[in-house]
């Protein structure tokens, strides 16, 4: 069954029977909510398709609270909304370079790590990350890669290179992600995806415009849906979204397509999304409790196993809570060799406007 349908069914069930109907003894985690939050509320602003069906309802039950859960389609949408003034969100989930921008613009509250004991469960590589030294403002939520998802049945060949994607004769979709899309052009051109040289940035722009004739959509984190509906045959997407439609197709006896995900030989993007508390949050103490809850090994494993994104929770991995097939899948947990071919987007305030302007030009020239 399609996982999005499962989420919908669970949500409808909660509306009908109410949250209390989910007995606490049915909740797998042993996490205990700190006392004193009963009757309070939490407002979460997160990416779409990014929690397990019971992640939010279990937290509501364990703490006796209500959660408003809103979604956005990309970092630019999140950043624009918070820059305009936080309407009351307590939790946001920016990617690494966007987190750096938000810290620089004083849009985030520093964390009180004494309220997050489960921070000790983080894998070593996500403790003191370069985009947030000492985890001052954030903890990693999920991580992974961005590259190419494709319908092998429709394409008719294995895809191994970005050139196959950019030169493909059929319909494709790009992701509404300026730094990453320009970075992929840089990989093909032999240019540092994080270049600050304006001439090189313009070369990447010109490449995308030249190669954009096959682009049907520049999609806000919904390329997997376009792929599943047959509107495109290839899509730049986050790996978890592609693995979700792969799983849905395998479970559907009527699905006669084969979907694949590949990081091309030239490389791809590696990213980490992070739990953070924005300035203007209405319930900072409950936000800390939510972060600690997400870092519980069982809760973190349930999210990763359902969404097909990589877990930053070493305790969940060590306790055998992560699906073994996922751990063994290099598309989800890249090998050290493959990690060497991936780039992180580096924030640079001096070139942020340049990248934004050339990306706008690309979209205008392509009619998106």
pLDDT tens digits along 103-113: 999 999 999 99
Mean pLDDT of 134-138: 97
Segment 51-70, tens digit of pLDDT: 999 999 999 999 999 999 99
Helix axes 75-83, 96-104, angle to 10 degrees: 20
Q: What is the pTM of this model?
A: 0.84
Mean pLDDT of 298-319: 97
Label residue 14 exposed, middle or buried (CB < 10 Å: 0-12, 13-18, 19+): middle
347 confidence band (pLDDT: 50, 70, 90): confident
How far apart are alpha carbons 85 and 107 in whole angstroms? 9
- Give residue 25's pLDDT: 53
Mean pLDDT of 209-225: 94
Q: What pairs with residue 247 in β-bridges?
A: none
- Given a contact cutoff of 8 angstroms between Cβ atoms, the answer to whether 295 and 121 are in contact is yes
Nearest to 273 by CA among 136, 75, 109: 75
Complete domains list, the chain, with CATH: 3-143+272-327 (3.40.190.10), 144-269+333-366 (3.40.190.10)
């Amino acid at each position: 069954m399609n996982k999005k349908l499962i989420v919908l069914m669970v949500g409808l069930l909660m509306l009908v029977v109410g949250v209390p109907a989910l007995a606490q003894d049915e909740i797998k985690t042993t996490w205990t909510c700190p006392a004193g939050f009963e009757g309070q509320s939490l407002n979460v602003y997160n990416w779409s398709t990014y929690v397990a069906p019971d992640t939010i309802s279990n937290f509501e039950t364990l703490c006796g609270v209500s959660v408003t859960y809103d979604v956005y389609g990309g970092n630019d949408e999140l950043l624009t909304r918070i820059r305009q003034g936080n309407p009351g969100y307590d939790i946001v989930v920016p990617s690494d370079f966007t987190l750096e921008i938000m810290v620089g613009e004083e849009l985030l509250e520093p964390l009180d790590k004494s309220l997050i004991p489960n921070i000790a469960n983080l894998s070593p590589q996500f403790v003191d990350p370069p985009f947030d030294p000492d985890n001052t403002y954030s903890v990693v939520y999920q991580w992974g890669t961005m590259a190419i998802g494709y319908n092998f049945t429709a394409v008719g060949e294995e895809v191994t290179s970005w050139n196959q994607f950019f030169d493909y004769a059929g319909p494709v979709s790009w992701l509404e992600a300026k730094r990453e899309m320009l970075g992929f052009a840089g990989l093909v051109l032999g240019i540092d995806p994080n270049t600050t040289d304006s001439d090189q940035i313009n070369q990447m722009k010109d490449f995308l415009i030249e190669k954009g004739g096959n682009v049907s959509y520049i999609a806000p984190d919904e390329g997997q849906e376009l792929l599943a509906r047959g509107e495109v045959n290839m899509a730049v997407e986050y790996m978890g979204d592609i693995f979700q439609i792969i799983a849905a197709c395998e479970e559907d006896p009527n699905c006669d397509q084969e979907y694949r995900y590949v990081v091309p030989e030239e490389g791809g993007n590696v990213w980490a999304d992070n739990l953070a508390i924005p300035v203007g949050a209405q319930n900072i103490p409950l936000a800390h409790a939510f972060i600690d809850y997400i870092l519980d090994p069982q809760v973190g494993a349930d999210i990763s196993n359902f969404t097909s994104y990589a877990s930053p929770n070493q305790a969940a991995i060590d306790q055998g809570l992560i699906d073994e097939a996922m751990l063994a899948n290099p598309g989800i947990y890249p090998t050290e060799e493959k990690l060497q071919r991936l780039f992180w987007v580096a924030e640079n305030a001096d070139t942020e406007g340049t990248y934004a302007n050339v990306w706008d030009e690309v979209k205008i020239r392509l009619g998106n």
